[in-house]
Chain A
Amino acid sequence: MSSNNALADVFEKRENEIASKWLELQFADGRKASPTAHTEAGRRSRDFLSALKNATRKDGTTDINGKEWAPVKDFLADLSAGQAKNGASPSETASFVFSLKQPVFAALREEHGKDATAFGDAIWDATQLLDKLGLLTTEIHQKSRESVISRQQQEMLELSTPVVRLWENILALPLIGTLDSARTQIVMQNLLEAIVETRSDFAIIDITGVPVVDTLVAQHLLKTVAAARLMGADCLISGIRPQIAQTIIHLGVDLTNVTTKATLADAFAVALKRSGHSVVRDAAKAGAPR
């Protein structure tokens, strides 16, 4: 308790001295800083120090869960989140806090150097406090990265399942990437809704962009085909490459009840034919120069 007051005293008495030394240290690794970056770092350092000073004074412990520490934690949260967005590493962010140790220890030595017990206690408190705050920045950094990742996952879910209309009554669903169950749910839903909306009779699921067709993927495909069939639409699967065909055979998956084709063009031709369309090549035009 008393040593923490010692910490607060030092922050109060030697704030300017600590701030300027700290700022020097932050630019000591040789990197060139523009004048604006320097001003920005100076402002940031002074703001953090003054928040730290107030919190140590008011709270009197190094337990950063107390309500007096909220401003300090908010400050670090903003800083870490900003750094994470700019692509800074967690250690870069944490070293902002850790680099404060040296100037604080130096100031404590000047104040209490003659009294070993008081000096030791004060150093211990300062270390504990700054370690906790440094680790906090790493945690926040991690969290903000995670939120970026989960947002990107959501965006991919929406982007990766377009249903395209190839002809009147004929839809195509080009699948790309891994068919984990969350995405497959959306795929099924999109396709079935599109069948109703466009009153289509044919749906072609193209799996050219799916690298691995294992039993789970096969099961999802079969379920989608069955659901489409229940709604009165015929479902074809295209994009079965030789390696996929051989693997499916070894797995023992039975796709004989489904019309499958090697390419989307083949499947499209089947759908056109079944719906009574025919594509005719005009021989006269084909030979003529454009």
Chain B
Amino acid sequence: MAMRVLNSESIPISTAEDIVRVRQAVRRSAVSLGFGIVDQTKIVTASSELARNALDYGGGGTVQVEVVQNETRSGVRLVFEDQGPGIPDIALALTDGYTSGNGMGLGLSGAKRLSHEFDIWSKPGSGTRVSILRWK
């Protein structure tokens, strides 16, 4: 099915304040599509996790906040990219409770559970790209 991007915004993630900015932009997009408060909170929380991952583990990066639409429905898609060290074992990184830092080890797997579609590409040494989508 063809997916159209109705609105797109790129936000840099290089400081902790940028994470707040990302959350606000994601909430704006979700509200513009008429997301209910629960769905808003889910996608905003997922964005907060992934933005912090990009900052803490990827050394900073960017997020593309998109409002997308296909034939039947619309949603918010977020694509996080960083040029950090990458993730050597994605399956391990997606395991609840595993962390290479000192967080709870639930951010990546939690973000996956909070969204309808989840994709991750990572190459050790060249960076990580995480894409999530939540339909209305």
Q: A residues near B, CB below 8 A?
A: 178, 180-181, 211-216, 218-219, 242-244, 246-247, 250-253
Partner of B16, one of A180, A251, A252: A180
Which residue from chain A places its CB closest to the CB of B109 in the assembled complex? Answer: A252
Nearest-Cβ distance from residue B45 to partner chain A, whole angstroms: 5
Taking the nearest CB of chain A, how far is it from the CB of B16, in angstroms? 5
| Structural contact, B113 and A214, CB atoms closer than 8 A | no
Q: Is B114 interfacial (CB-CB < 8 Å)? A: yes
Interface residues on chain B, number (Cβ under 8 Å): 22
Within the assembled complex, what's the spacing in Å between the Cα atoms of A55 and B91? 67
Query: Mind listing 27 A-B residue pairs with CB under 8 Å?
Result: A180-B16, A180-B20, A211-B44, A212-B23, A212-B41, A212-B44, A212-B45, A214-B48, A214-B49, A215-B49, A215-B107, A219-B104, A243-B41, A244-B41, A246-B38, A246-B41, A246-B42, A247-B45, A250-B110, A251-B45, A251-B49, A251-B106, A251-B114, A252-B96, A252-B106, A252-B113, A253-B104
Q: Could you tell me the distance between the alpha carbons of A243 and B49 in the complex, rounded to whole angstroms?
A: 17
B52 within 8 A of A: yes
* Chain A interface, DSSP helix/strand/loop, else mixed: helix
B residues near A178, Cβ cutoff 8 Å? 20
CA distance A242 to B37 in the complex (A): 9
**Chain A: CB-nearest residue to B44:** A212
- The answer to whether A214 touches B40, judged by C-beta atoms less than 8 angstroms apart, is no
Closest to B110 in A: A251
> B residues within 8 A CB of A181?
16
C-alpha spacing A244/B44, complex, angstroms: 11
In the complex, the answer to whether B103 meets A251 with C-beta atoms within 8 Å is no
Q: Give CA–CA (A219, B110) in the complex, Å.
A: 14
Residues in A with CB closer than 8 Å to B45 are: 212-214, 247, 251
Closest residue on chain A to residue B27 by CB atoms: A211
